[in-house]
Chain A
Amino acid sequence: MAAGLIAGLVVFVLASFVGVEVINKVPPTLHTPLMSGSNAISGIAVIGALLVAGPRDSNLSVILGLIAIVLATINVVGGFLVTDRMLQMFKKKEVKA
Chain B
Amino acid sequence: MSNFGSTGIELSYLIASSLFIIGLKRLGSPATARQGNTIAAVGMLIAIVATLLDRNVLNYEMILLAIAAGSVIGAIAAQRVAMTEMPQMVGLLNGLGGAASALVAVAEFWRLLDSGATVPLEATITTILGVLIGGITLTGSLVAFAKLQGIMPGAPITFGFQQPFNFSLLLIFLAGSGYLLVEPHNLPVFLGLVGISLVLGVLFVIPIGGADTPVVISLLNSYSGVAASVAGFILGNNMLIIAGALVGASGIILTQIMCKAMNRSLTNVLFSAFGSGAAAKAAEGSEGDKAIHSIDPEEGAMMLGYARSVVIVPGYGMAVAQAQHSVRELADQLERLGVSVKYAIHPVAGRMPGHMNVLLAEANVPYPQLCDMEDINPDLDRTDVALVIGANDVVNPAARDNASSPIYGMPILEVDKALHTIVIKRGMSTGFAGVDNDLFYKDKTMMMFGGAKEVVDKLVSEVKQL
Determine if A16 and B248 form an interchain contact, defined as CB atoms under 8 angstroms apart. yes
B235 at the interface (CB under 8 A from A): yes
The residues of A that contact B150 with a CB separation of less than 8 Å are none
Residue on A nearest B25 in the bound complex, by CB: A22
A74 to B: closest C-beta gap in Å? 4
Contact (Cβ within 8 A) B247 A93: no
The minimal Cβ–Cβ distance linking A33 to chain B, given in whole angstroms, is 6
When C-beta atoms are compared, the residue in chain A nearest to B234 turns out to be A48
Q: Given contacts A42-B247, A48-B228, A78-B74, is CB(A22)–CB(B48) below 8 Å?
A: no
Contact A1 B122 (CB under 8 A): yes
Known contacts A51-B57, A70-B66, A86-B358; is A45 also within 8 Å of B100 by CB? yes
* Bound CA span A22–B70, Å: 30
A34 touches B58 (CB 8 A): no
Complex interface: chain B residues within 8 A of A16 (CB): 245-246, 248-249
B96-121 interface bits toward A, Cβ cutoff 8 Å, 1 = contact, 0 = none: 11011101101110110010000010
Q: Please tell me if the beta carbons of B100 and A75 are within 8 angstroms of each other in the complex.
A: yes
Closest Cβ of chain B: how far from A80's Cβ, in Å? 4
Which of B56, B74, B227 is most buried by chain A, counting CB atoms within 10 A of its CB?
A: B74
With A23-B28, A30-B28 given, is the CB distance from A91 to B241 under 8 Å? no
Interface string of B1-43 (1 = CB under 8 A from A): 0000000000000000100110111011111011011101100
Collect the chain B residues with CB atoms within 8 Å of residue A17's CB: 249
Q: Let me know if B146 is at the binding interface, CB within 8 A.
A: no
Q: How far is the CA of A70 from the CA of B104 in the complex (A)?
A: 12
Q: Does B312 contact A (CB under 8 A)?
A: no
**How many chain A residues have a CB neighbour from B under 8 Å?**
87
Question: Does B277 have its Cβ within 8 Å of any Cβ on chain A?
Answer: no
With A and B bound together, what is the CA distance between A93 and B369 in angstroms? 11
The 0/1 profile, CB within 8 Å of A marked 1, for residues 197-235 of chain B is 000000000000000000001100100110111011111
**Which residues on the A side are within 8 Å of B101 (C-beta)?**
45, 48, 68
Residues of A contacting B: mostly: helix
Q: Does B237 belong to the interface (CB within 8 Å)?
A: yes
Whether B362 pairs with A30 at a CB distance below 8 angstroms is no
Distance A28 CA – B7 CA, assembled complex (angstroms):
41
Is B438 close to A, CB under 8 A?
A: no
Number of A-B contacts (CB under 8 A): 394
Contact B243 A52 (CB under 8 A): no
CB-contact partner of B372 in A28, A42, A66, A85, under 8 A:
A28
A84 to B353: give the CA distance in the assembly, Å. 17
Number of B positions contacting A (CB below 8 A): 115
Chain A residues within 8 Å of B96, by CB? 43, 71-72, 74-75
Within 8 A of B (CB), among A1-35: 1-2, 4-5, 8, 11-13, 15-20, 22-35
Complex: A23 Cα to B371 Cα, angstroms: 21
Q: Which of B76-84, B284-292, B429-437, B445-453 is found at the contact surface with chain A?
A: B76-84
| CA–CA, A90 and B366, complex, Å | 9
* A44/B63 in contact, CB under 8 A: no
- Given A19-B246, A81-B75, A96-B366, are A86 and B59 also a contact pair (CB < 8 Å)? no
Most buried by B among A37, A45, A47, A60: A45
In the bound assembly, the distance between CA atoms of A12 and B106 in angstroms comes to 21
Q: Do A33 and B354 touch across chains, with their CB atoms under 8 A apart?
A: yes
Cβ-defined contact, A18 with B246, below 8 A: yes
Question: How far is it, in angstroms, between the C-alpha of A69 and the C-alpha of B67 when the chains are bound?
Answer: 6
Q: Are B250 and A27 in contact (CB under 8 A)?
A: no
| Set B25, B111, B232, B241: member contacting A52, Cβ < 8 A | B111
Question: At the interface, yes or no: B236 with Cβ under 8 Å from chain A?
Answer: yes
Q: Is the CB of A76 within 8 A of B247?
A: no
In the complex where A47-B51, A71-B96, A91-B34 touch, is A76 in contact with B58 (Cβ < 8 A)? no
Beta-carbon contact of A66 and B358 below 8 Å: no
Contact A35:B254 (CB < 8 A) given known A28-B357, A93-B364, A97-B368: yes
Verify A45–B28 contact, CB threshold 8 A.
Answer: no
Known: A47-B51, A71-B103. A29 touches B357 (CB 8 A): yes
Nearest-Cβ distance from residue A25 to partner chain B, whole angstroms: 7
In the complex, 7 of the A-B residue pairs with CB atoms within 8 angstroms, ordered by the A residue number, are A22-B246, A34-B354, A43-B97, A70-B66, A72-B70, A80-B44, A94-B367
Residues of B within 8 A of A (CB): 17, 20-21, 23-25, 27-31, 33-34, 36-38, 40-41, 44, 47-48, 51-52, 54, 56-59, 62-63, 66-67, 69-71, 73-75, 77-79, 81, 83, 86, 89-90, 93-94, 96-97, 99-101, 103-104, 106-108, 110-111, 114, 120, 122-123, 126, 217-218, 221, 224-225, 227-229, 231-254, 257, 345, 347, 352-355, 357-358, 361-362, 364-368, 370, 372
* New contact pairs (7) apart from A48-B235, A68-B107, CB-CB < 8 Å: A2-B122, A8-B232, A15-B241, A22-B246, A36-B93, A39-B221, A74-B73
